[in-house]
Amino acid sequence: MTAEEISTDTSVLRALKRIRMPATHRNRELALLAFSFVINGSALALVQLGATGAIDATFLYYCGGLTVLVLALHIVLRLRARDADPFVVPIATVLTGLGIAMIYRIDLEKKVEGWSALSIRQLVWTAIAMAGAIAVVLLLRNYRVLFRYTYVFGFVGIALLLLPLVPGLGTNANADVWVSVAGLFSFQPGELAKIALAVFFAGYLVRTREALTSVGTRFLGMTWPRARELGPLLLIWLGSLAIIVLQRDLGTGLLIFGMFVAMIYVATGKTSWVLIGVVLAVVGAIAASQVLPYVQARFTNWLDAFNPSLMDNSSMQLVTGIFGLAQGGLIGTGLGQGRPGLTPLARSDYIFPSLGEELGLVGVFAILCLYMLFVSRGIRIGMAGQDDFGKLLATGLSFTIALQVFIMVGGVTRVIPLTGLTTPFLAAGGSSLVANWIIVALLLRISDAVRSRPRVVIG
C-alpha cells in the first residue's frame, strides 16, 4: 500500500469516526443523563414528601438548577469534545445530585432556610464547579500541554499546601487546611493541590521512568530499586509527614503519598514500589500515632470508640454515625424519614452515614458501585491512551478519587481511623466539589483525545 493510499484511508477513518461514533456517544450520554436526572429528581421529591408531606416550588430550584448546569456542560462537550467518555458526567451528576438531596434533607430537619442552608450554598458551588469544568474543556484543547509545565505544577501544588500556614490566611479550625479570603468565604487549597501534584507526578515519572525500571537488585522474586532511586519516594513520604505534623491533616498526607505510590507503580510496573510504599505508610502512621497527640487521638477513637469515657466526648460523632447506619438496616428508613441530623457534621464529613440511614445497605452499595464505575472508567481512559503522560495522569486522578472514598467510607465505618477528608461529590464543601469536577473535565479531555485519534489499518 502506498503512502497516498494510507493517507486516503486515514482521512476516511477520521471522517467515519467523526460522523458515526459521536452520534452513538451523544445518544448514549443523553440517555444516561436523562436517567441521572430522573434519579436526582426522585430523590429530591422523596425528601420533600418524607420530611414535609408535600412537594413545593423548592423542588424546581434544586432539580432544575442542577439539570440546566449539567446540560450546559453536555452542550460544550458536544461542541468541543465530541468523543469524550459518555459515562463520566452522568455518574458525577448522580453523585452530586444525591449529595444535594441529602444536604437539603438535613436542612429541612434543622429548619434552616435562605443562605444559611448548606444546600443552597452547595448548589451555588455546583454552578461554580460546572463553570470550572466547562472552562477546562474549552481552554485545554490538548492535555499534553500540561506536560511542558511539570515543575510549575509541582511548585503550585506545594504552594497551595503551604498557603494555610501563611499568617492572616489560615482559619482557626481543627486542622490548618482552610484559607479565608477577606472574611467572605473559605476554601481548602489542598483540594486543588492534589490536581496540581497529579500533573507534576505524571510529568516527573515520564521523565524518570527509565531510571526507575532499568536497574535494581533481584530479591524474593522481585526487582528492588537502588538507594538512589528511592529518593523521590522518600521525599514524598517526608512531605506527607510534614503535612500531618504542620497542618494536623492526616487525610491529605495519606492521599498525596498514596497517589504517588499508585502512579509510580503504573509507571514502572514493579510491585516492589507498592511494598515499599505500604511499609513507609505503616511506619509513618505508627510513628505519628506515638508522637503526635492529634493522630494518637484518632487511633484511640478508632480502637476504643464505644468506651463510655470517649463516647461522651471525642468518639461521639463516630459512634452516632455507626448507630445511624445500623438504624438504616438493609433498605433504609426512606428519604426524609430518618434522623441523620443527630450526627454532628452530617452534611459534610458524615454524609455517607446520613445516606446509609435513609437508603440502607442497598443504597450505599449502589453509591459505592457508582464510585467503582467512575474509577474504572478513569483507569480505562488512562490505559487506552497512547502516551505515557496521559496514562499516568488519568490513572492518578482516578486513583485519587478511589483512595479518598476508601479513606472516608473506611473512617466512618470504623475500618480505618477517621481523617479529615470529604466524600467526593457528595459532601458539602465548595473546594472539594470544584476540584472533583475539574478532575471530571480532565478525564473528559483525555478520553476525547484517545477516542478521536485515528487508527490506521494497513493490509
Q: How far apart are CA 433 and CA 351, in angstroms?
A: 14
Q: Read off the C-alpha cell for 300.
A: 484511640
Size of the chain, expressed as the number of residues it contains: 459
Q: How far apart are CA 161 and CA 163, in angstroms?
A: 6
Q: Read off the C-alpha cell for 291.
A: 508522637
Q: How far apart are CA 12 and CA 283, in angstroms?
A: 57
Q: Read off the C-alpha cell for 232.
A: 523521590
Enumerate the domain spans of the chain. Answer: 3-139+292-452
pTM greater than 0.75 (yes/no): yes
Q: Read off the C-alpha cell for 23.
A: 452520534
pLDDT by 10s per residue, the chain, length 459: 444 443 444 444 444 344 344 556 567 778 889 999 999 999 999 999 988 888 888 888 888 888 999 999 999 988 888 888 899 999 999 999 999 999 999 998 888 887 778 889 999 999 999 999 999 999 998 899 999 998 898 888 888 888 877 776 666 555 566 776 656 667 788 888 899 989 988 988 888 777 666 656 665 555 556 656 566 667 776 777 777 666 677 778 888 888 888 888 888 887 877 887 888 888 888 887 787 787 788 888 888 888 887 776 778 888 889 999 999 989 989 998 888 888 888 888 889 999 999 999 999 999 999 999 999 999 999 888 778 899 999 999 999 999 999 999 998 998 888 887 889 999 988 889 999 999 999 999 999 888 766 443 333
CA 437 remoteness from chain centre: 8
Strand partners, 224: 217
